[in-house]
Amino acid sequence: MPLTDQDMTIYAQIQHLRKMKRELQLAIQSLQSLLPDRDPTERRPCYVIHPKTGEREEVKMCR
């Protein structure tokens, strides 16, 4: 069964998306390398701004 122009277009799009995925993964890795190392089990406080008072409140359910 010969490939049609539409098949070739789809194939080219898939190849392009794979290339973009690799580029994004490399960009993410390089950005993550800039982050300071920290213990993943370390408890870090999470805060929200209370809509009525405008004050910062710690959220208890964060990991």
Distances in Å between the alpha carbon of 32 and those of 2, 22, 47?
A: 45, 15, 23
pTM above 0.75, yes or no: no
3-state secondary structure of 48: strand
Q: Where are the domains of the chain?
A: 1-37
* 14-59: pLDDT as tens digits: 999 999 999 999 999 998 888 877 776 777 778 888 888 889 888 8
Counts of helices then strands in the chain (DSSP H, E): 1, 2
DSSP secondary structure, 16-60, as one string? HHHHHHHHHHHHHHHHHHHSPP--TT----EEEE-TTT--EEEET
